[in-house]
Amino acid sequence: MLKCVSNKKVYPSKEIAEDALIEAHMQFEYTRGNGPIAVYKCEDCANYHLTSQGPINPKLEQLMKDGRIDRQREANQWLRRIKKR
């Protein structure tokens, strides 16, 4: 398992980190100004982490503008409700 001295979750590539970023927004309802919005390469471990700092990731921004994040979040909520029954 990959580790970093920062104790942050580690992603081995930018693409995997971006996928995790998008998935986080589809799973959790972050309020404006909270939650991760970008990925960066760590100088300590040479892997990638999520961050709430800096400019928003272009892929995430486009999915948010298209409404796909909201639609998938709603679908996930319905799936959780159905599984509880």
pLDDT digits (tens, 9 = 90+) for 1-52: 789 999 999 999 999 999 999 999 999 988 878 899 999 999 999 999 999 9
pLDDT of residue 48: 98
Strand partners of residue 49 = 40
pLDDT digits (tens, 9 = 90+) for 40-83: 999 999 999 999 999 999 999 999 999 999 999 999 889 988 98
Q: How far is CA 25 from CA 5, 56, 60, 73, 76, in A?
A: 25, 12, 8, 8, 11
Residue 54: which residues within 8 A CB-CB, separation 6 or more?
A: 37, 38, 40
pLDDT of residue 32: 79
pLDDT of residue 21: 97
